[in-house]
Amino acid sequence: MSATRSSWIAGILVATLLLVALPAADTRASLTPAEQHRVFLPSVPLAQPMLRLSSLYYDTETSGEPDEAFRVWNISGRTLDLDGYGVSDGSRTVVFPSLELPADTGIWCTGDALAFARSFGFSPGCEYGADNDPTVPNLSGPTLRFGNNGGQALLLGRAGQRIDAVVYEGGDATQAGWQGPAVEPYTPSTAYGAEGQILYRKFDWQTGQPLPDSDTRGDWAQDPNDHIDGRRVQYPGWDLDAFARPTTLNADGEFTVALGPDNLFDAVNGAFTGAQHSIRIEGYTFEHLALGQTLAARAAQGVDVTLLLEGGPPGGISDQQRYITQLIEDAGGQVWFMVSDRNGADDRYANQHAKFAIIDDQLALISSENFSGDSMPDDDKSDGTLGRRGSALLTTAPPVVAHLQALYAADFDPQHHLDLFRWSAADPKYGAPPVGFVPSAETGGTGYQPLYAQPLTFSGALTAEVVHSPETSLLPVDQGGLLGMVDRAGAGDTVLVEQLYERVHWGGSNDTPQSAPNLRLQAYIDAARRGATVRILLDAYFDTGDNAETVAYISQIVQNEGINLRALLGNPTGRGIHNKMILVEAGGEKWTHLGSINGSEASSKANRELAIQVQSDAVYAYFAPAFWVDWTSSGGLCCSDAAFIE
């Protein structure tokens, strides 16, 4: 590999000078499935073409593993004819035919093109072994066999010389072209299966191109020693090529922010009631009878109503949800589930936990809350109510709407993804409720006096960033995202966190905050160390001890360091804090982050999640007083004219 090192480094240096900007509206829907998984960037011709192995899928989820695959990436800066290049598993070798690979793109090759398409949702660029898809070019040579418990993938030049390698699990890490330990799948918990995990190279967040090669496991996203770009996973069906880029938007339109349980129902039900053409929802569960009746009524009037829900929530799908989904289906709507027990498919994400909607392709809703009576009570609130503390933002800003449309189109694609299963009355799991089931219409109660009777609506232009798991929830601080937003805070600034939970550490049960830090929690602590005032309010209602452990950990840091950081447990609205809201006031700018992302590692790396963060004085001014009301009702001291007295 050293013979190509100087040309490769030159290519990387040239590539870093290229500025690549994403369009505000994603054009992904206009491309074929195969085209959607290629990234085309400006190219600069170099004297010597070069390739890299960029991905390896060796222990697949398909019986017999016909969809084993590798991906080769062209980093030469110009179109490359692959004729004569080869890939070996250490004992068998396949050789490319004449096949052009554009600059700065990758090509997937597999043993069975049809099996690969079933798993990944798009056709590969080439196959080896049997010719199962005549439309896919064939490599010559025997079918490769990548061992599940260890092996290697070797990229060979036209003369048979080794030009790249990846050694994994129990493979021979002493062989030429590799240094140090082999790459291991990242499996800190049951949310991350080794089976089905794709090894892939770390990439530049702006360009999508592989980072410089060191012939070590440090080049790969499963790198256990890199807490930002490493300790990551990928599974078939993910859309990293399309969505793993920072997304900062100039958003101009109408905005509405709502608070749960105060007025969240009014905002959501109003958006659904006003739909004229379509309502598309991606949610975790749906158990709110009144909202279900609204959707059914709109469907009966000809509105295209489609829901995509999680197929395996803890405790299973309730009879209340079965009743509501039947109501929607009977009215002409569609309800689908992301599942792992139908069609011979595994679901793409550990959980489909996002909570968003797109109405008439003109209005986007992003929320922390499930569609339930506890989160969105519809009772008469003149005598108070009860519910879960949550938040939501709605906007007509076209770039935000377009981004959610693209994400929804990728997730809800039954033609190409077999982990989607439609509601069927007779299905014992994804079907009708028991005969005679009577749904509950009761919501709310008394005991909590709403802070705001109405949502806040305003028009204008602001900066917004859409963040989503598993792609961009944990961007490096210089790329934006939640970590970048919190990193803005320093001396004299403020960070307010109201969260269902924040784990004291990530990784496995034997890890610690030092060996596997919760990067979100660490960001809040670091802000306090820089001189910011930081307050963290975690839920007490659902907590089984994890949040209490986090509060104790933070309290010990405060005792040791004397920084302006406090953490409490609370239940200010009677049925728990379900919020996922972070407020940052830094350098005169006011930022709000809200959405579905909780404080576990899987929430950022393995789930489908969605959040938005906006720079807006109005949004911040709406939510910050609610935080302080919740903080003081949970036993904390507050503020007077921004002078903190704790």
Query: pTM score, two decimals?
Result: 0.91
Q: Which helix (H) or strand (E) holds 167?
A: strand 162-169
The one-character DSSP state at 253 is E
**pLDDT tens column, 222-251:** 999 999 999 999 999 999 999 999 999 999
User: Distance between CA atoms of 166 and 368, rounded to whole angstroms?
Assistant: 40
**Amino acid at site 156:** L
CA distance 219 to 325: 46
Q: Can you give the C-alpha Rg of the chain in angstroms?
A: 25
Say whether pLDDT at 607 is over 50.
yes
Does the structure show a pLDDT above 50 at 465?
Answer: yes
Q: Strand pairing of 126-127 and 93-95?
A: unpaired
CB 189 within 8 A of CB 601: yes
Residue-wise pLDDT tens digits, 208-226: 999 999 999 999 999 999 9
Q: Are strands 334-338 and 420-422 parallel, antiparallel or unpaired?
A: antiparallel
Query: Sign of the C-alpha dihedral, residues 451, 454, 457, 463?
Result: positive
Q: What is the pLDDT of residue 19?
A: 32
Percentage of the chain beyond pLDDT 90 is 90
Contact 230, 430 (CB under 8 A): no
For the chain, the average pLDDT equals: 92
Which of 486, 495, 501 has its CA nearest to residue 368? 501
Q: Which residue has the tokens 């950990």?
A: 553
pLDDT in tens, 324-377: 999 999 999 999 999 999 999 999 999 999 999 999 999 999 999 999 999 999
pLDDT of 640 higher than 50: no
Q: What is the pLDDT of residue 86?
A: 98
Q: Classify 254 in phi/psi space as left (phi over 0), alpha (psi -120 to 50) or beta.
A: beta
Instruction: Please tell me the predicted confidence (pLDDT) of residue 305.
Output: 99
Per-residue model confidence as pLDDT tens digits over 254-288: 999 999 999 999 999 999 999 999 999 999 999 99
Which residues pair with residue 416 across a beta bridge? none
pLDDT for res 602: 98
Distance CA 562, CA 38 (A): 51
Q: Quick one: pLDDT band at residue 599, thresholds 50, 70, 90?
A: very high
pLDDT in tens, 568-579: 999 999 999 999
Q: Residue 252 pLDDT > 80, yes or no?
A: yes
**Domains, the chain:** 1-244 (2.60.40.1260), 248-422 (3.30.870.10), 462-644 (3.30.870.10)
- Chain segment 476-503, per-residue pLDDT in tens: 999 999 999 999 999 999 999 999 999 9
Residue 32 has pLDDT above 70, yes or no: no
Length of the chain: 646
pLDDT at residue number 15? 37
pLDDT for 37 beyond 80: no
Distance from CA of residue 567 to its chain's centroid?
27
The yes-or-no verdict on residue 43 having pLDDT over 50 is no
Rounded Cα gap, residues 461 and 255, in angstroms: 9
Q: How confident is the model over 513-528, as pLDDT tens digits?
A: 999 999 999 999 999 9
Q: Residue 129: what pLDDT? A: 87
Q: Please name the residues in contact with 122: beta carbons below 8 A apart, sequence gap of 6 or more.
A: 32, 33, 34, 36, 37, 416
Q: How many of the other CB atoms lie within 10 Å of CB of 35?
A: 11
Band (pLDDT 50/70/90 cuts) for residue 26 is very low
Q: Which amino acid is at 135?
A: T
Give the pLDDT score at 639.
73
Q: If pLDDT is split at 50, 70 and 90, which confidence band does 35 have?
A: very low
Q: Are 103 and 79 in contact (CB under 8 A)?
A: yes
Residues 6+ away with beta carbon under 8 Å from 510 = none
According to the model, what pLDDT value does residue 31 have?
44
pLDDT digits 0-9 by tens, 109-164: 999 999 999 999 999 999 998 899 999 999 999 999 999 999 999 999 999 999 99
Report how far residue 407's alpha carbon sits from residue 74's, in angstroms, rounded to the nearest whole number.
Answer: 27
24 has a pLDDT exceeding 60: no
Please tell me the distance from the alpha carbon of residue 69 to that of residue 197, in angstroms, as a whole number.
Answer: 12
3-state class (DSSP) for residue 388: strand
The pLDDT tens digits of the residues spanning 3-21 come to: 333 443 334 333 333 333 3
Tokens at 166, concatenated: 């990846």
